[in-house]
Each structure stands twice: as structure tokens, then as C-alpha cells.
Amino acid sequence: MLDYLCAFVIGGGICVIGQLLISLTRLTPARILVIFVTAGVFLTALGLYEPLVEFAGAGATVPLTGFGYSLATGAMEGAMENGVIGAFTGGITATAGGVSAAILFGYINALIFTPKAKK
Amino acid sequence: MKNPQTAQQKQYQQRVNEKMPRSNVLSQCLRAFVSGGIICCIGQAVRAWGQGPLGLSEENLAAFTAMVMVFLGATLTGLGVYDKIGTWAGAGSIVPITGFANSVVSPAMEFKREGFVMGVGAKLFSIAGPVLVYGISASILVGLVTCLLK
């Protein structure tokens, strides 16, 4: 149960940072997503994100910063094992599941459904 | 390039600023906290499911959780449910990976009438594209620095 509490608090907290960015600076959602992924990559590289993942589990990996975390850990592991080639292949390899799922499920849903009329 | 505003436009802008509802930042943050927290708890449950009953390895577990969350986000967007959650949740629905899935499906669905290649195919990436460009480029940079330092 403690796992869920940690996931809730940290995951919610990361979303609040996003909300503050949107409310106070009027950044568009697209920019928020880009900022969060990039921030996740660099925080991971500096070793600051790993402790958060260990503490909060999905609370740290489900927000988009967690996508950046996967990219960065993949690239760093790749670099340690395969040098420059690993630096290029590691990031996408680690995140291939999520990206492929987004493409396939995104495509299928876009084909099946039409947008609901907004009032 | 910004066109100089006429006096009328300035007046209009002023009126817009006055009439625009002052959104309460605190309540928005609270809603983002609760909704984002709940989505992460669902992620935690998916993780526990993969770890326990399915017995996945640590590496596959991360991919599995991402895939299931993306599936949920994409399907709820298709059904029109996710946007309803979004109006209440704000960033709580944007920041989690389900929001990434939402950003893939929404524009693709919207631009279906422009065809299956330049409509659906291209618009799938109208927001996901920049995210992947910056995320992957940053990860390669980090990988190259790791090469230099090891």
C-alpha cells in the first residue's frame, strides 16, 4: 500500500509542476511535454532521477519525465556496453515498447473513432 | 512579425483580459495533483500485475507498463472520455504518458479527412514528433558524454 502512496504523491507532485508551468507561463501542452521529456533525460544523466524512481516506482516512471528517464538510462547503458553505437541505439531500444504502442494504438484509434462534436 | 495594433484592437484586448475568468491556480494544482496521482497509481497497479501474475523481468516491466498505459490513454481518447477527464484534470492528464498517447490520437483523429497518409499518418506525430526529436537527441547526447567519461 505504501508503494501506491509514494506513487500518488510523487506522480501528483510532478503533475503540479506541469500545471504551474501552464497556469503561470501559458506554455502550450506540446511545450510542456517536450520540456518534461528533456528534463527527465538530463536529470537522469545527473543521477538525480534514479532515486525518485526507486522511491516512487510508477509515480516517477509514468509521467513523461519517466520517458526521459528510460531514454537516458538506455543510452547510458548502451554507451557503456557498445560505445558510440550504443549511445545512439540505447535510448530508442529502451523505449521501443512505449513508442511502438503509441504508434499502433494511436493509428487504430484514429481509424476507428471520429472526434466527438464539441459544444 | 507582429502587426501594430490599432486602438480598437487594444481596446478589445483589454476587454478580453478583463472578461477572461481568473482561473484559480491553487484549485488547478490540486486537481492536477489528484488526477496525476491517480493515473500514477493505475500505473503502479499495472506494474504490480506485470511483476506478480505475469512474472516479467525488470527491463520488460518498464516497457509493459508504458505499453498498457499508452493503450489506455489512446483508447480513452478515441472513446472521447480522456478529453472530458482533461478539462477537469488539466496538467494531471497531460504530463503522464497517457497524455502522450492522447496527443498522438487527437490530432490524427481530427485530420482524418485529409487522408490516411498526410492526415492520419502525419498528424499522429504533430505533438509526439517534437517530443521524440528532443527526447532522443538529448539521450544520444547523454550517451556520447558517457562514452567520453567512461
Question: Among A1, A10, A26, A33, which would you mutate to test the B interface (most chain B Cβ atoms within 10 Å of its Cβ)?
Answer: A33
Q: Do B69 and A62 touch (CB under 8 A)?
A: yes
| DSSP output for A68-99 | HHHHHHHHHHHHHHHHHHHHHHHHHHHHHHHH
Query: Is the CB of residue B77 less than 8 Å away from at least one CB of chain A?
Result: yes
- Residue range B15-51, pLDDT digits in tens: 877 766 656 889 999 999 999 999 999 999 999 999 9
Report the DSSP beta bridge partners of residue A63: B96
Residue B40 has its nearest CB partner, among A7, A37, A42, at A7
Q: Per-residue confidence at A119, pLDDT binned at 50, 70, 90?
A: very low
Per-residue model confidence (pLDDT) at position A7? 96
Q: Give dist(CA B91, CA A65) in Å, integer.
A: 13
Whether the pTM exceeds 0.90: the reply is no
Which regions in chain B score pLDDT beneath 50? Answer: none
Shortest CA distance from A21: residue in chain B: B91
Give the max Cα distance, chain A: 54
| DSSP output for B74-98 | HHHHHTTHHHHHHHHHTHHHHSBHH
Per-residue model confidence (pLDDT) at position B16? 76
Residue A13 within any structural domain of the chain: yes
For residue A61, list chain B residues with Cβ-Cβ distance below 8 A. Answer: 43, 62, 65-66
Per-residue model confidence (pLDDT) at position B14? 81
| Count of beta carbons in the 10 Å neighbourhood of residue B22 | 5
Work out the percent of chain A whose per-residue pLDDT is above 70. 97
Question: Among A9, A32, A62, which would you mutate to test the B interface (most chain B Cβ atoms within 10 Å of its Cβ)?
Answer: A62
For residue B136, list chain A residues with Cβ-Cβ distance below 8 A. Answer: 71, 91-92
Query: Is the CB of residue A105 less than 8 Å away from at least one CB of chain B?
Result: yes
Q: Give dist(CA A39, CA A37) in Å, integer.
A: 5
Residue A48 within any structural domain of the chain: yes
User: B40 and A8 in contact (C-beta within 8 Å)?
Assistant: yes
Work out the percent of chain B whose per-residue pLDDT is above 90. 76
Domain count, chain A: 1
Per-residue model confidence (pLDDT) at position B95? 96
Residue A117 within any structural domain of the chain: no
Domain boundaries, position A34: 2-112
Query: A63 by DSSP, 3-state: which?
Result: strand
Query: Is the CB of residue A25 less than 8 Å away from at least one CB of chain B?
Result: no
- Residue range A84-111, pLDDT digits in tens: 999 999 999 999 999 999 999 999 999 9
Q: Give dist(CA B10, CA B27) in Å, integer.
A: 31
For residue B114, list chain A residues with Cβ-Cβ distance below 8 A. Answer: none
A residues 41..80 contacting B (CB < 8 A): 41-42, 44-45, 56-59, 61-64, 66-68, 70-72, 74-76, 78-80
Per-residue model confidence (pLDDT) at position B13? 80
Shortest CA distance from B93: residue in chain A: A15
Q: Give dist(CA A50, CA A76) in Å, integer.
A: 13
Per-residue model confidence (pLDDT) at position B7? 83
Per-residue model confidence (pLDDT) at position B4? 67
Residue A108 within any structural domain of the chain: yes
Per-residue model confidence (pLDDT) at position A1? 83
Helix A64-112 vs helix B97-110: angle between axes, to the nearest 10 degrees?
30
Shortest CA distance from B23: residue in chain A: A23
- Residue range A12-51, pLDDT digits in tens: 999 999 999 999 998 898 999 999 999 999 999 999 999 9
Query: What φ, ψ does residue B89 adopt, rounded to 5°?
Result: -85, -20
